[in-house]
Amino acid sequence: MNQTPETGKSLDPVTFEVLKNSFITTVDQMAEQMLRTCYSFVIYNRDFSNALHDAEGNSIAQGNYDIAVHVGTLHNTCKEVIRHFEGDMAPGDVYAINDPYAGGTHFSDVRLVRPIFDEDKLIGFSQSNGHWSDLGGSVPGSFDVTARDMFREGMRITPVRLFHKGRFCSDVANLIAAQTRDPASIIGDIHSQAQATHVAEREILRLVRKYGRDQVTRGMEEVQDYVERAVRKRIAELPDGTWETVDYIDRDPTGGEGMIPIRIKMTIKGDEITYDFTGSHPTIGSMYNSAPGATFSAVVAGTKTFFPDLPLNSGFYRMIKVTAPKNSVVSAEWPVAVTGFLMPFEKIMNAIFEMWSKIMPERAIACAFNLEYLLAGGRDARKPEKPIFMFYEWLPGGWGGRNGKDGADVTTACFGTGLMSQPNEGNERVNPTRTTEFQIKQDSAGPGKWRGGVGVQKTSLLLEAEGAVMSYICDRERAVVWGVEGGLPSMPHGLTLKRAGSDEPTWLGSVFSDHPVHTGDEFARPTAGGGGFGDPLERDPKKVMEDVIDDYVSVARAAVDYGVVIREIDRDLCAFEIDEAATEAKRAEIRAARTDWARSDPQEVSRRYKAGEIDALDAIRQYATILDWETGEVLPKTTEQFRESYEKRTIAHWS
């Protein structure tokens, strides 16, 4: 706290601090405006960000509650707008862009960018990015997992003018809205976002009047230098070194069995960090690819997690270098489909969590559950006019166990911690669905000395509907959420469907598109808990018993996963007891055998699974084997990859 600040700083400390805070307050005001006026329920549930930029398009401030996934991409789209309109911008203009191939995320994230002029001098930009409810394409919500290129995904908006000198270009706006399933909301969101950028213009001009143009533009540069200085200083204090890891996407639907590796080598040298993705898999035949802008964003979001207190702007990006092989799953180019970029995104974040956990053990964390996103649509036959309904929803799950602390229970996905889950009463009012269950999933947490957070299960019934189809965007059905430091994995993601009149649920897994569903069908979606941290046999048996009392953990799995034998005395009074002797014996038994279990013949595991002797949790946690969860067949290459991870992250840490 007492080092001398660098010399040559041109703003006095007070003006600097005032401008820095005012920039952030301005972006928070933009957020407030959007939240109160938006139409897209995705935006309403906080899938949006705002930013201020300098005249070159660099980010100078992002909001306090902006979601992680947009970090590190907003400057790209601002710069792309500048490239298109340089010399042809006027006060009152607003432009739209959603282009992932120009550094954006995916089509759904539409950004509105407004140039800010002081008299006739361009001094900066404000940008408002919101996830629109639909952008056309083959399926409601514009998430077609089978898309291999952008042409069936939805509308790509390269920079286009939506307001010209304050006049709304309704022709262009209507053209855009007409490509979507929800044109009225799209027009509403254009107004909502345009006004948010206007709020920023007003505030920046107020600052200009008070401090003068030069001071404000200088402030825009200095806030970036400030963040850069703070991050470089912290990185310089860390030892130089290289860390490597790999995480996986489940599969390439157009390829053979086997998981899709994303390899990262991180090098810290002096005050710089390099992330090298050499060895990552080529692009795959689904929309689960990431373009370079989104990959950079994932790197920034993962890294930023270890510097939670620092403000975010382009200064943060200056010491980070990313290299990736051309046309890999993390560096896709036009026209490869990238709408599902969040799948590689979360793998990158978790891999970065793992590497930084070694560097900062006091902030260590195991793997978090994977984002899951359900999109259903059709006609709502409850009403005589049978209007189109669109039901999109994501669920929270568990985050990884931590060093000295269990993982966070039921928390929104790591790609966007600001995101909110949706109320069931809202669902039921708007869509022909009824929720029959929305509760914590027992035994979903990855066991560990510090267990992962718990996930949930939501089960819904489709009511009167016609022509309804369902798509499911998820992953880690096979690349199951992993533990670290000896902790165990949690459980596979995947949806099961029970047809009307049938008692037999069908496992549809974690990725499918355009699946027809009918009135009376019931679909259940669990989310995984977080991975465990540390050896579960070292967990305090009292903590295990508390988890049993709260039904987070079953009595049966307390014994299997933790070796803790618990007896029920009176459930009505929450009275349980630990059988100390039996626990000691059970733990000794597990300790002696578990390494062999995890290396046992996968075919034998498959046989026992099919015979009903063991379940999926046993196969994963005790036998490190990945099966086709519907048929029980072994997935040999996947199991081999999974075991490599299990050996490194789990077995190697058992004493």
Partner 1 sequence: MTKTRVAVDVGGTFTDICIMDEETGAIRIEKTASTPHDPMQAIMNGIEQGRIDLPDVSMFSHGTTVATNALITRRLPRAAMVCTEGFRDVVEIRRANKEDLWDTYKDVAKPYIPRRDRLTVRERVDATGAILQSLNEDDARRVAEVLKKREVKAVAVCFMNSYVNGANERRMREILAEVLPDVPVSVSSEVMPEIFEHERFSTTMANAVCAPVVVNYVSRLGEKLADAGYKRDLLLLHSGGGVMTPASVRDFSARLAGSGIAAGAIASRFIGNLCGFPNSIGFDMGGTSTDVSLAYAGEPRITKDWYIEYGYPIRFPSIEVLTIGAGGGSLAWQDEGGSLRNGPQSAGAHPGPACYKNGNKTATNTDANVVLGRLGTSLAGGKITLDPSLAREAVHDTVAAPFGMELHEAAEAIVSVANANMANAVRLLSISRGYDPRDFALVAFGGAGALHGAAVAKELSIPTVIVPPNPGVTSALGCLLVDVQHDFSDSFMADASSVAPEDMEGAFGRMEAQAVERLTHEGVAEADMALQRSVEMMYQGQWRALSVPAPAKVESVSALVDAFHAEHEREFNFRREDAPVSIFRVAVKAVGIVPKADLPKHQVSAHTPQTVGRREVWFEGRAHDAALYQRDDLKAGATFSGPAIVEQFDSTTVVPPGMAASVDAFMNILITTKG
* 176 lines the binding site for partner 1 (CB under 8 A): no
* 365 lines the binding site for partner 1 (CB under 8 A): yes
Closer residue to partner 1 (CB): 66 or 618: 66
* 429 lines the binding site for partner 1 (CB under 8 A): yes
Could you give the C-alpha distances from 124 to 22, 50, 67, 220, 224, in angstroms and in order? Answer: 15, 14, 22, 9, 14
* 212 lines the binding site for partner 1 (CB under 8 A): no
Q: Exactly one of 103, 136, 293, 396 binds partner 1 (CB under 8 A); which one?
A: 396
Axis-axis angle for helices 213-236, 183-211 (nearest 10): 100
Distance CA 416, CA 346 (A): 10
544-573 positions binding partner 1, by CB under 8 A: 549-552, 572-573
* 38 lines the binding site for partner 1 (CB under 8 A): yes
314-353 positions binding partner 1, by CB under 8 A: 353
Q: Exactly one of 326, 383, 405, 518 binds partner 1 (CB under 8 A); which one?
A: 405
Distance CA 109, CA 97 (A): 9
284-303 positions binding partner 1, by CB under 8 A: none
* 76 lines the binding site for partner 1 (CB under 8 A): no
Could you give the C-alpha distances from 638 to 51, 270, 283, 289, 597, in angstroms and in order? Answer: 41, 38, 18, 19, 17
* 419 lines the binding site for partner 1 (CB under 8 A): yes
Pairing assessment for the beta strands 272-276 and 320-323 based on DSSP bridges: parallel
* 384 lines the binding site for partner 1 (CB under 8 A): no
* 238 lines the binding site for partner 1 (CB under 8 A): no
Binding residues for partner 1, total number by CB under 8 A: 94
* 18 lines the binding site for partner 1 (CB under 8 A): yes
| Segment interacting with partner 1, rule: CB under 8 A, options 28-36, 153-161, 553-561, 643-651 | 28-36
**CB distance 99 to 158 below 8 Å:** yes
| Segment interacting with partner 1, rule: CB under 8 A, options 97-105, 194-202, 318-326, 466-474 | 194-202
| Segment interacting with partner 1, rule: CB under 8 A, options 117-125, 269-277, 434-442, 631-639 | 434-442
Distance CA 511, CA 472 (A): 5
CB of residue 32 vs partner 1: minimum separation in angstroms?
5
86-145 positions binding partner 1, by CB under 8 A: none
Two structure tokens written together for 351: 């891999």
3-class secondary structure, 7: coil
Two structure tokens written together for 330: 């993390």
CB of residue 77 vs partner 1: minimum separation in angstroms?
21
Which helix (H) or strand (E) element contains residue 459? strand 456-462
Closer residue to partner 1 (CB): 37 or 519: 37
Closer residue to partner 1 (CB): 68 or 375: 68
CB of residue 315 vs partner 1: minimum separation in angstroms?
9
- Per-residue burial over 528-545, b = 16 or more CB atoms within 10 Å of its CB, e = otherwise: bbbbbbbbbbebebebbb
* 605 lines the binding site for partner 1 (CB under 8 A): no
| Segment interacting with partner 1, rule: CB under 8 A, options 147-155, 173-181, 436-444, 495-503 | 436-444
Q: Exactly one of 318, 434, 498, 543 binds partner 1 (CB under 8 A); which one?
A: 434
* 308 lines the binding site for partner 1 (CB under 8 A): yes
471-500 positions binding partner 1, by CB under 8 A: none
Q: Exactly one of 84, 164, 213, 229 binds partner 1 (CB under 8 A); which one?
A: 229
| Segment interacting with partner 1, rule: CB under 8 A, options 94-102, 307-315, 595-603, 632-640 | 307-315
Closer residue to partner 1 (CB): 420 or 556: 420
Closer residue to partner 1 (CB): 288 or 552: 552
Tally: H helices and E strands in the chain: 16, 22
Could you give the C-alpha distances from 282 to 277, 332, 336, in angstroms and in order? Answer: 11, 9, 11
| Segment interacting with partner 1, rule: CB under 8 A, options 316-324, 335-343, 404-412, 481-489 | 404-412
Of 491, 646, 490, 654, nearest to 587 (Cα)? 654
Distance CA 462, CA 521 (A): 6
CB of residue 25 vs partner 1: minimum separation in angstroms?
5
CB of residue 439 vs partner 1: minimum separation in angstroms?
4
Q: Exactly one of 178, 388, 500, 574 binds partner 1 (CB under 8 A); which one?
A: 574
**Which residues have C-beta within 8 Å of that of residue 162, sequence separation ≥ 6?**
94, 95, 96, 112, 168, 169, 172, 173, 190, 194
CB of residue 430 vs partner 1: minimum separation in angstroms?
9
Closer residue to partner 1 (CB): 275 or 399: 399
CB of residue 231 vs partner 1: minimum separation in angstroms?
9
Which helix (H) or strand (E) element contains residue 22? helix 13-37
CB of residue 163 vs partner 1: minimum separation in angstroms?
12
**Which residues have C-beta within 8 Å of that of residue 249, sequence separation ≥ 6?**
259, 260, 262, 281, 284, 288, 329, 343, 344, 347, 475, 479
* 578 lines the binding site for partner 1 (CB under 8 A): no
Closer residue to partner 1 (CB): 275 or 552: 552
* 198 lines the binding site for partner 1 (CB under 8 A): yes
> Which regions of 25-174 does DSSP assign to beta strands (E)?
48-54, 59-62, 94-97, 109-118, 121-131, 160-164, 167-168
**CB distance 151 to 337 below 8 Å:** no
* 17 lines the binding site for partner 1 (CB under 8 A): yes
* 171 lines the binding site for partner 1 (CB under 8 A): no
Distance CA 650, CA 655 (A): 11
**CB distance 453 to 411 below 8 Å:** yes
* 170 lines the binding site for partner 1 (CB under 8 A): no
CB of residue 27 vs partner 1: minimum separation in angstroms?
11
* 269 lines the binding site for partner 1 (CB under 8 A): no
Burial of 565 (0-12, 13-18, 19+ CB in 10 A): buried
Q: How many CA atoms lie within 13 A of 58 on its CB side?
A: 19
Distance CA 295, CA 366 (A): 21
Closer residue to partner 1 (CB): 150 or 484: 484
Integer Rg of the chain from CA: 26
* 211 lines the binding site for partner 1 (CB under 8 A): no
Pairing assessment for the beta strands 109-118 and 94-97 based on DSSP bridges: antiparallel
Closer residue to partner 1 (CB): 258 or 418: 418
**CB distance 612 to 586 below 8 Å:** no
